[in-house]
Copies of this chain bind each other. A is one copy, B any other.
Amino acid sequence: MPSYTPPVRDVRFVLEQVVGLSAHAQVEGFANATPDTVDAVLEEGGRFVAEVLFPLNQVGDQHGCTRAEDGSVTTPPGFKEAYRQFVESGWGTLAAPEAFGGQGMPHVVSTAFQEFMISANMAFAMYPGLAHGAIAALVAKGNPEQQATYLPKMVSGEWGGTMNLTEPQCGTDLGLIRTKAEPQADGSYRITGTKIFISAGEHDLTDNIIHLVLAKTPGAPDSSRGISLFVVPKVLVNADGSLGARNAVTCGSIEHKMGIHGNSTCVLNYDGATGWLVGEEMKGLAAMFIMMNAARLGVGLQGLAVAETAYQNAVHYARDRRQGRALTGPAEPGEKADTLMVHPDVRRMLMEAKAWTEGLRALCLWGALQVDLEHKAGTEVERQMAGDLIGLLTPVIKGVGTDKGYEVATNAQQVYGGHGYIQEWGMEQYVRDARIAMIYEGTNGVQAMDLVGRKLAQNGGRAVQAFFQIVTEELALAKTVPSTADFAARLERALGDLQAATMWFMANGMKNPDHVGAGAVSYMHLMGLVATGLMWLRMATAAARMQAAGEGDAAFLDAKLVTARFFAERILPDAGALRRKIEGGADAVMALPESMFLAA
């Protein structure tokens, strides 16, 4: 049976040595995040998810959600009770604003806990996860009455929340939305239309679900500039805050999916449901992006988090399973066979997993810090810098985090051999669950286009130049230290590839934008190598410094240095290939006539 242990020590190392949590004590909310408080969150939160949520992970996969004739949805056995405990213990309120009943902790601390929760049970974590996006939109764009009506109960977890974008004819291209919002005399709107793929769209965990819905008002232009955002509660809320009549939104069906069976993915039918405009009319896209950016970082975290659980189990299996002998001669001659751990290719898969999960953890937490700083740093310069960095890296964290998460989960399954393919061992579920993260909240191809088509050029390339400068400065320091000089030289080469690819886009994108589109995913992965490489540079630098000072656990710090070396020698070489693919341009990608793809 699979197991999961929250990687508390590694998170602590990253928060102190990479994120520099204590160095930001002057930032609003960070004073709350004392080492003792953070330890308590990690230890207690980790225990909660491991003991309460993880045992429901396979249960959720096997039972899935059930829709009744009346459109109500029942979550898997145990989910409702676990959700009650989750709400009571307040794990969902860590980073929410104190004004609405949250604990006002830094986002970066909440993100560390989120990773544990997703690792334990991704499908379960999506119920509060989706609500967080809706909360973010209402905090930013809701009017005071809307905030007072919905936010306290959404923050506490008493009510759920969803994001309603997709329609049958409309996925990435939100200009195609058909859902209509007709204004009423009382200031409300009547919402009519069909939304699909709505995660946590209907369930039995909460008394109410607050849907945030993109729709078009009469006469709005037929493009993404014509969409508005509405708040549409499943159950209408009376003036005194009590629950009133059922609104005209129903779950028409739930999807049968490859994975995340424990989360209800709904078709929601809006049949003249009552909703209220959030923010300004036809400014829905901007409001949506507030939800979406938060969701994309959360999805990147899903990639890492599922990979972590898969990796942990692969390590256990590799240490238990005996098969074959070490190439260098029997490691345990007294046994009939050595463990899988002696085999270089098994090690290779485990080291790739370790290098990516720890590197992506650092990247996700460092990214979460930028979200904090973007809103709360003391100076405009700091806020702008943080906003630039997280804007640039959000598609990288989402796209690379989930592509690599899937790859790690697939390799972890591979370590199990035939047993990895059998449901009861649990490994194939991680692969199926991890798969969706490459698709939703914008496919990874869409992330890559966001990166190369929007983020690179914004403000004259300010963000990417700032990123290059950070890497360059930290490399310059690391090159002077013997223990990190080789790593720095290899990362510098990858940075050179990334800079060359960036220049290639600048030189060729104006001639033909397809040159940029054809290299977008390769570029996203190239930037992911450099960004994750920067995290490994920081971890290696910190480990070397601590060892020299006689601080910390020597074995743990050694492991960081070994894994950094693996990242440099066995993962960073992909940078050169990615650059060459990018520089191949669009010609070979676009040349084939449509009719010749199928030449049967």
Contact = CB atoms under 8 A, between A and B. Distances in A.
Interface of A: 5-10, 166, 169-173, 175-176, 196-197, 222, 255-259, 312, 315-316, 319, 322-324, 327-328, 336-337, 341, 343-351, 354, 406, 410, 413-414, 417-418, 420-424, 428, 431-432, 435-436, 438-440, 443-445, 448-449, 453, 512-514, 516-518, 520-521, 555-556, 558-559, 562-563, 565-566, 568-570, 573-577, 580-581, 584, 586-600
Contacts of A570: 581, 584, 588-589
A7 B346 CA distance: 37
Given A438-B414, A556-B596, A581-B570, A347 B421 contact: no
- Leading 10 A-B pairs by shortest Cβ distance: A344-B517, A569-B584, A258-B428, A573-B580, A327-B513, A345-B445, A577-B577, A344-B518, A559-B596, A566-B588
Given A176-B336, A328-B514, 9 more contacts: A171-B417, A171-B418, A176-B323, A319-B594, A328-B512, A344-B514, A348-B518, A566-B589, A576-B580
As for how many copies of this chain the complex holds, the number is: 2
Listed residue (A170, A423, A574, A595) with the most chain B CB atoms within 10 angstroms of its CB: A574
A345 B517 contact: yes
A164 to B, nearest CB: 13
Listed residue (A414, A556, A588) with the most chain B CB atoms within 10 angstroms of its CB: A588
Nearest to A256: B423
A346 B319 CA distance: 41
A339 B354 CA distance: 40
A588 B562 contact: yes
A423 B428 CA distance: 16
Contacts of A595: 555
Given A323-B172, A594-B319, A596-B559, A589 B5 contact: no
A421 B436 contact: yes
Given A562-B588, A570-B584, A345 B10 contact: no
Given A351-B589, A555-B593, A588-B562, A343 B445 contact: yes
Contacts of A566: 588-589, 591
B354 A9 contact: no
Contacts of A336: 175-176, 222
B9 A347 contact: no
A343 B9 contact: no
B562 A344 contact: no
14 contacts: A171-B417, A171-B418, A172-B324, A257-B422, A327-B514, A344-B586, A344-B589, A406-B410, A421-B440, A431-B435, A556-B599, A565-B591, A570-B588, A573-B581
Contacts of A432: 258, 428, 432
Given A439-B418, A559-B592, A600 B172 contact: no
A131 to B, nearest CB: 20
A520 B344 contact: yes
B7 A599 contact: yes
A489 to B, nearest CB: 13
Contacts of A565: 587-588, 591
Contacts of A9: 599-600
A512 B326 CA distance: 11
Nearest to A449: B345
Nearest to A515: B344
A354 B414 contact: no
Given A5-B598, A448-B345, A514-B328, A423 B588 contact: no
A374 to B, nearest CB: 28
B555 A600 contact: no
A322 B176 CA distance: 10
